[in-house]
Amino acid sequence: MKKVIFSIALAIASLGAAQAQSDMPAQPEKQMHFLVGMGITFGGDKLAEVEYDKGSTVKLHAGGTVDFVAGIDYRVNPEFSFQGTIGYHVDAANASNGDVTFSRIPMEVLAYYHVSPQWRFGGGARYVSSVKLRSSGAGDIYSGNYDFKNTLSPVIEAEYMMNPKFGFKVRYVHEKIEEKTSGQKLDASHVGLFGTYYF
């Protein structure tokens, strides 16, 4: 999985670099853009610690680890914009004889204030559904199968536009999740570093 994550991150970074020679216009050429992005997230309570045959371990956290997103960005005027996205947020330990996976589907609506052509700051709401922890094969000894309630959480972030097509984000999500059967509550809050490509 780490090789896949690295390959996707490299591809997104290459898209940004390919546009690096473009000058930043004072205003966008069009108001609406489609977007795709990927982020690495850190934080949250530990869900499982998986040990491989060679002695290495992987820890799964409620705030980790990879978040893929797609959506629409709409520029209202030079100072304000809105963004709506849907994603797939996952942390996993995979092996030939079993897996442990924590996954969820986040939907977000964010509003931004542009302080300059390169910088914008914003916040909004993140609604997470289909939150589940799953294990199979040898992974069953480290975890089980659990379902969590949908949750609504606040988001804040800053984005630096390297050029009109590529942005780099730093964000924080204050997120709590609750297991459906036991009612156990876990902290899924996390910090994220994202690369986003705008079409």
Kindly report, residue by residue over 99-136, the tens digit of the pLDDT: 999 999 999 999 999 999 999 999 999 999 999 999 98
Residue closest to 65 by CA, chosen among 35, 37, 93, 107: 93
Q: Identify the pLDDT of residue 52.
A: 79
pLDDT band (50, 70, 90) for residue 19: very low
Q: Determine the Cα–Cα distance for residues 100 and 112; give it in Å rounded to an integer.
A: 36
**CATH code, domain carrying 50:** 2.40.160.20
Read off the pLDDT of residues 88-99 as tens digits, 9 standing for 90 and up: 999 999 877 779
Read off the pLDDT of residues 145-168 as tens digits, 9 standing for 90 and up: 999 999 999 999 999 999 999 999
Q: Identify the pLDDT of residue 81.
A: 97
Domain count along the chain: 1
Q: Quick one: tokens of 165? A: 């097509």
Average pLDDT of the chain? 87
Q: Determine the Cα–Cα distance for residues 179 and 93; give it in Å rounded to an integer.
A: 21
Q: Identify the pLDDT of residue 2.
A: 47
Q: Identify the pLDDT of residue 33.
A: 96
Q: Which of 49-58, 61-70, 131-140 has the highest mean pLDDT?
A: 61-70
Q: Identify the pLDDT of residue 72.
A: 98
Torsion of CA 184, 123, 91, 68, to 10 degrees: 140
Is the pLDDT at 11 greater than 50? The verdict is no
pLDDT band (50, 70, 90) for residue 1: low
How many CB atoms neighbour CB 167 within 10 A?
A: 21
Residue type, 165: K
Helix (H) / strand (E) element for 7: namely helix 2-18
In our burial notation (b when 16+ CB lie closer than 10 A, e otherwise), range 105-139 reads ebbbebebebeeeeebebebebebeebebbbeebb
Residue 156, domain extent: 2-198
Q: Identify the pLDDT of residue 96.
A: 74
Query: What is the average pLDDT across 130-144?
Result: 83
Q: Determine the Cα–Cα distance for residues 178 and 174; give it in Å rounded to an integer.
A: 14
Q: Identify the pLDDT of residue 29.
A: 56
Is the pLDDT at 30 greater than 60? The verdict is yes
SS3 state at 18: helix
